[in-house]
Chains A and B, each alone.
Chain A
Amino acid sequence: MLRFLLGRLGLLIPTFFGVTLVAFSFIRLLPGDPLDLLAGERGIDPERKAELMAQMGFDKPLWQQYIDYVIGIFQGDLGTSFASKKPVLDEFMTLFPATAELALCAIILAVCLGIPAGIFAAVKRGSIADQAIMGTALVGYSMPIFWWGLLLIIFFSGILQWTPVSGRISLLYFFPQVTGFMLIDSLLSGEKGAFLSAVRHLILPSIVLATIPLAVIARQTRSAMLEVLGEDYVRTARAKGLPPRSVIGLHALRNALIPVITTIGLQVGVLLAGAILTETIFSWPGIGKWLVDSIARRDYFVVQGGLLLIAGIIMLVNLIVDVLYGLINPRIRHT
């Protein structure tokens, strides 16, 4: 197991350098620079611009900027945001909990609904219920997030007024951020109604963000289950006279879950991508919107640092998935 883990960790090193290089070069390949955008229609004097570029170290050759940047990373310095003048890492730490909270709620929702729906559809293969579930999943998978989010807001917040339109918690509550997770902080604050308010604000964005992963997980679970249900050991289990619940829940599900877990791991990337749109619609103060705004501003250090941190998180989740995979299926850790 240790060798397996070390092997997986070793793979992270080239990936890490790859990500830094891609993030560093892509933002610089984009035309335009932060100073032209800052000055807008007024324009900036070329001499003044050169002076400011030098002040920020952008006059050095690119390779040197890259080396400085990588050295900075090892010293825990991801640079400073051009817009806010704050360290990139600080900004990330302030905003990431909001994205993480939303993504966690969405993935929990997607797993809790997607796996049972997939199992049900597989067991009742070909029935109307199966077709309805798979049809809905296809619709969910194809749903344009922006349109879907606005539709839910107009219906549930606008017409029915069941949920708040946007934000993380009612403006009436204002307490210090301890963990950055609003559900936890609202409980810690001890203020009456705060937790409920946070939950109400999470409902719609979680549904919107969970829609695509939910559809993917349901479809994946169904096909994995179908494959496993046709295996000999399932037939054997049935023949032993085990009740259907044990056959499906114990023998079939455990094996069917392996590809499903991989899928869930891969959905983390999808969630973070979906978070960009979901965060914009629901005015959710997370990293998705932060990155998009920074690309528009050519805030080089934020884009580089943000991408690196997100890539780091995705790599970490994939590592966890690999380890889980190994735990569930011993064949993998020995190959």
Chain B
Amino acid sequence: MTKNYGSIAYLAKIFQNRGKIRKMLVVDFPPKKRLSLRWLGLNSFAHFNDARPLLFIKGENSLMNFQKTLKATLLGASLAVIAATGASAKTLVYCSEGSPEGFDTALYTAGTTFDASSKPLYNRLVEFKRGTTEVLPGLAESWEVSEDGLEYTFNLRKGVKFHTTSFFTPTRDFNADDVVFSFERQLKKDHPWHEYTPGTAWEYFNGMSMPDLIKEIVKVDDHTVKFVLNRPEAPMIANLAMDFASVVSAEYADKLAEAGTKEQFNQQPVGTGPFSFVGYQKDAVIRYAAHPDYWNGKEKIDNLIFAITPDAAVRLQKLKAGECHVMPYPAPADIADIRSDSNLTLMEQQGLNVGYLAYNTKVAPFDKKEVRKALNHAVNKQAILDAVFQGSGQAAKNPIPPTMWSYNDAIEDDDYNPELAKEMLAAAGVENLSMKVWAMPVQRPYNPNARRMAEVIQADFAKVGVNVEIVSYEWGEYLSRSKDVDRDGAVLLGWTGDNGDPDNFLAVLLGCDGVGGSNRAQWCNDDFEALIQKAKTVTDKAERTDLYEQAQAVFKEEAPWATIAHSVVFMPMSSKVTGYVMDPLGGHWFDGVDIAE
């Protein structure tokens, strides 16, 4: 492989600018006469069975001409170009489940898009430690938070290089301008990049309430940036590790703005991440190459390919046939088969999610906590786990998953006890209750089959004399109607964590601000609210843990939801793959991954 990609790219640029060649080749000679090559200009690679290099020269296809040009330029520029080594390029193929919508991460909200954009291509000021939700330094080496919790000052890492690609050659290292640009374009409505392409929404940034939270972003010097907030927000650091906070190149943006091709920013991305963008054939293949100057060290694999394969059964066949090395989202029915295959490894991890049934606490008789509590005793969670999750789930007793810090394990779950439930309902004066249970029309990680789940609940509730009617709507409609404060019925829904902070579950799903919105129980409890609001302002983790543990106790006592399950996520891969770590936040990362020969 090439040793100094930067200088080669530079040279290729000279060649191209002078119009001497269309594409330039960088060749290496692996054993058995197989030649793998990468040509700049299209930045691709290919394998051949013979060792004749393929040379493209503008206008004609002559080897001699190319050599002459190369010699002349080489002598002139006195650059060493081609470094041949004995090792062949290592390529890892990931059978991804869908196509990315684009590559400018902050425009989107889907995990599939994040996997293809923010994770391989970009870095953030802070990063999640792989496999955890713990936050580590990323592009910021360190940071300080002011006493009042309103100012976050980040000391940026020096010498971080942006990708050199066929479409962009950076002239400077990463600095404070890039950070300011990355956030201001999302924050300021009058920013020239705020609406750079039709339908620009910055929906994650908005969804996390960042416009209300961030007052300004100040460049202190080239390597220091200060975020000034409107109010203290303890999860701020965790928010900055999220995908929408990926840092993009301000220099590249300027170059595109000058050329009048701003929309390229979303199609030909440039970042500082472990892999650089090589090419995307829509709905088919995305290609990346290891970033040779990556600040955290070059990756062990040279090329990363996403082979887009929407069907789970076909992904498994490709994995078995060796057409890819890693696949996400296996069909639950295939798990046993994958386990028994000695060529495959099956990794599993508890997802950072929760599936729940939210009563409408504003509507009688569900405004009485005794009724809600009684119904919780009527739900047979084990039957749901068997019927719906087929072994890939775990019963939930708290609104946050057990892998999240501050999970209160001391809480006792409402046991399955139909007799007790009947007594409690009678004591609350509820007879012949009829209610609706809403079943989502889609499959989600926290609920693989909501219709089936609703049927199990229907049968459970019938045993305590409660008659259930199952209703459903189209997904967008479901999400929107379930927010209504006077909604009729209990809603099956769930949540997957964004940043590993308990605030992201408890405040979003159960806080008073969420009533009429993401708080589907329409539940606003003063004790609970006081605890979570206080936890937002405190930066000490031990103190926050204590507050959240108390909040979970209030939640359990008040029972606005029947907490149902946390799912387990599976990840099958070839046994040749080493170093893969599953992300509790559900992302797919390939830095640090290697393949055995």
Chain A residues with a Cβ under 8 A of chain B: 30-33, 35-45, 48, 52, 55-56, 80, 82-86, 91, 94-95, 98, 150, 153-154, 157-158, 161, 164-168, 171-177, 190-193, 280-283, 285-286, 289-290, 293, 298
CA distance A157 to B477 in the complex (A): 41
Pick the contact of B480: A36, A45, A98, A158 (CB < 8 A): A36
User: With A84-B102, A172-B46 given, is the CB distance from A38 to B109 under 8 Å?
Assistant: yes
User: With A157-B321, A166-B314, A285-B281 given, is the CB distance from A175 to B477 under 8 Å?
Assistant: no
User: With A32-B474, A298-B476 given, is the CB distance from A80 to B198 under 8 Å?
Assistant: yes
CA distance A287 to B308 in the complex (A): 15
Q: Which partner residue on chain A sits nearest B278 by CB separation?
A: A174
Q: Which residues does chain A contribute within 8 Å of B311, judged by CB atoms?
A: 280-281, 283
User: With A44-B207, A177-B281 given, is the CB distance from A166 to B474 under 8 Å?
Assistant: no
Q: Which of A33, A55, A166 has the most CB of B within 10 A?
A: A166
Q: How many residues of B are counted as interface, with CB atoms below 8 angstroms from the partner's CB atoms?
A: 64
Are B207 and A39 in touch, CB under 8 angstroms? yes
Distance in angstroms from B311 CB to nearest chain A CB is 6
Are B307 and A171 in touch, CB under 8 angstroms? yes
Are B46 and A283 in touch, CB under 8 angstroms? no
Q: Which residues does chain A contribute within 8 Å of B121, judged by CB atoms?
A: none
Are A165 and B323 in touch, CB under 8 angstroms? yes
CA distance A5 to B203 in the complex (A): 52
CA distance A83 to B99 in the complex (A): 11
Are B307 and A161 in touch, CB under 8 angstroms? no
22 pairs, CB–CB < 8 Å, chain A vs chain B: A32-B480, A33-B476, A35-B201, A36-B476, A36-B477, A39-B203, A39-B207, A44-B207, A85-B107, A85-B266, A94-B282, A98-B284, A154-B317, A157-B321, A168-B284, A174-B45, A191-B48, A192-B49, A193-B49, A281-B311, A285-B284, A286-B283
Are A172 and B47 in touch, CB under 8 angstroms? yes
Are B477 and A40 in touch, CB under 8 angstroms? no
Q: Which partner residue on chain B sits nearest A82 by CB separation?
A: B199
Say yes or no: is B436 at the interface (Cβ < 8 Å to chain A).
no
Are B46 and A174 in touch, CB under 8 angstroms? yes
CA distance A24 to B93 in the complex (A): 40
Distance in angstroms from A167 CB to nearest chain B CB is 6
Distance in angstroms from B110 CB to nearest chain A CB is 8
CA distance A40 to B498 in the complex (A): 13
Q: Which residues does chain A contribute within 8 Å of B338, judged by CB atoms?
A: none
CA distance A150 to B311 in the complex (A): 10
User: With A31-B477, A167-B307 given, is the CB distance from A290 to B198 under 8 Å?
Assistant: no
User: With A91-B282, A157-B317, A167-B307 given, is the CB distance from A38 to B206 under 8 Å?
Assistant: no
Are A42 and B518 in touch, CB under 8 angstroms? yes
Pick the contact of B267: A39, A86, A283 (CB < 8 A): A86
Are A42 and B207 in touch, CB under 8 angstroms? yes
User: With A41-B479, A85-B266, A158-B320 given, is the CB distance from A289 to B203 under 8 Å?
Assistant: no
Q: Which of B45, B195, B206, B282 has the most CB of A within 10 A?
A: B282
Say yes or no: is B69 at the interface (Cβ < 8 Å to chain A).
no
User: With A94-B282, A283-B308 given, is the CB distance from A43 to B495 under 8 Å?
Assistant: no
Pick the contact of B282: A41, A153, A161, A285 (CB < 8 A): A285
Q: Which residues does chain B contribute within 8 Å of A37, judged by CB atoms?
A: 475-476, 479
Q: Which partner residue on chain A sits nearest B61 by CB separation?
A: A190
Q: Which of A31, A40, A153, A293 has the most CB of B within 10 A?
A: A40
Chain B residues with a Cβ under 8 A of chain A: 42, 44-50, 54, 91, 93, 98-99, 101-102, 107, 109, 195, 197-201, 203, 206-207, 263, 266-267, 279, 281-285, 287, 305, 307-311, 313-314, 317-318, 320-321, 323, 473-477, 479-480, 483, 493-496, 508, 517-518
Q: Which residues does chain A contribute within 8 Å of B282, judged by CB atoms?
A: 91, 94-95, 285
8 A-B pairs besides A32-B474, A94-B282, A168-B284 with CB distance below 8 A are: A31-B473, A31-B477, A41-B494, A43-B517, A165-B318, A166-B317, A167-B323, A285-B284
Q: Which residues does chain B contribute within 8 Å of A166, judged by CB atoms?
A: 309, 314, 317-318, 323
Q: Which residues does chain A contribute within 8 Å of B44, judged by CB atoms?
A: 174-175
User: With A94-B282, A167-B307, A285-B281 given, is the CB distance from A38 to B203 under 8 Å?
Assistant: yes
CA distance A116 to B263 in the complex (A): 52
Are A85 and B197 in touch, CB under 8 angstroms? yes
Are B281 and A150 in touch, CB under 8 angstroms? no
Distance in angstroms from B481 CB to nearest chain A CB is 9
Distance in angstroms from B447 CB to nearest chain A CB is 11
CA distance A164 to B318 in the complex (A): 8
Q: Which residues does chain A contribute within 8 Å of B496, judged by CB atoms?
A: 41
CA distance A95 to B282 in the complex (A): 7
Q: Which partner residue on chain B sits nearest A296 by CB separation?
A: B475
CA distance A36 to B482 in the complex (A): 12
Q: Which of A30, A167, A177 has the most CB of B within 10 A?
A: A167
Q: Which residues does chain A contribute within 8 Å of B318, judged by CB atoms?
A: 165-166
Pick the contact of A165: B284, B305, B321 (CB < 8 A): B321
Distance in angstroms from B376 CB to nearest chain A CB is 22
CA distance A290 to B45 in the complex (A): 27
Are A43 and B285 in touch, CB under 8 angstroms? no
Q: Which residues does chain A contribute within 8 Å of B494, judged by CB atoms?
A: 41
Q: Which residues does chain A contribute within 8 Å of B473, judged by CB atoms?
A: 31
Are A283 and B284 in touch, CB under 8 angstroms? yes
Are B310 and A171 in touch, CB under 8 angstroms? no
Are A161 and B198 in touch, CB under 8 angstroms? no
Are B203 and A150 in touch, CB under 8 angstroms? no
Q: Which residues does chain B contribute within 8 Å of A41, judged by CB atoms?
A: 479, 493-496, 518
Are B46 and A36 in touch, CB under 8 angstroms? no
Q: Which partner residue on chain A sits nearest B323 by CB separation?
A: A165
A-B complex: 5 closest residue pairs judged by Cβ atoms:
A32-B476, A285-B283, A36-B476, A285-B284, A174-B44
Are A174 and B203 in touch, CB under 8 angstroms? no
Q: Which residues does chain A contribute within 8 Å of B284, judged by CB atoms?
A: 98, 167-168, 283, 285
User: With A40-B109, A174-B46, A289-B283 given, is the CB distance from A283 to B475 under 8 Å?
Assistant: no
Q: Which residues does chain B contribute within 8 Å of A165, judged by CB atoms?
A: 314, 317-318, 321, 323
Q: Which residues does chain A contribute within 8 Å of B201, judged by CB atoms?
A: 35, 38, 52
CA distance A98 to B207 in the complex (A): 37
Are A85 and B475 in touch, CB under 8 angstroms? no
Q: Which residues does chain A contribute within 8 Å of B263, judged by CB atoms?
A: 85-86
Distance in angstroms from A282 CB to nearest chain B CB is 7
Are A31 and B476 in touch, CB under 8 angstroms? yes
CA distance A33 to B476 in the complex (A): 6
Are A150 and B313 in touch, CB under 8 angstroms? yes
Distance in angstroms from B295 CB to nearest chain A CB is 28
CA distance A32 to B474 in the complex (A): 7
CA distance A82 to B199 in the complex (A): 6
Pick the contact of B102: A85, A150, A192 (CB < 8 A): A85
Q: Which residues does chain A contribute within 8 Å of B317, judged by CB atoms?
A: 153-154, 157-158, 165-166
Q: Which partner residue on chain B sits nearest A37 by CB separation?
A: B476
CA distance A55 to B200 in the complex (A): 9
User: With A82-B199, A95-B283, A168-B284 given, is the CB distance from A43 to B483 under 8 Å?
Assistant: yes
Q: Which of A41, A153, A293 has the most CB of B within 10 A?
A: A41
Distance in angstroms from B117 CB to nearest chain A CB is 12
Q: Which residues does chain B contribute within 8 Å of A167, judged by CB atoms?
A: 284-285, 307, 323
CA distance A30 to B48 in the complex (A): 51
Are A55 and B199 in touch, CB under 8 angstroms? yes
Are B321 and A283 in touch, CB under 8 angstroms? no
Are A192 and B50 in touch, CB under 8 angstroms? yes
Q: Which of B206, B279, B314, B317 has the most CB of A within 10 A?
A: B314
Are B313 and A175 in touch, CB under 8 angstroms? no
Q: Which residues does chain B contribute within 8 Å of A98, judged by CB atoms?
A: 284
Q: Which residues does chain A contribute within 8 Å of B197, judged by CB atoms?
A: 85
Q: Which partner residue on chain A sits nearest B197 by CB separation?
A: A85
Q: Which partner residue on chain B sits nearest A282 by CB separation?
A: B314
Are A48 and B309 in touch, CB under 8 angstroms? no
Distance in angstroms from B356 CB to nearest chain A CB is 11
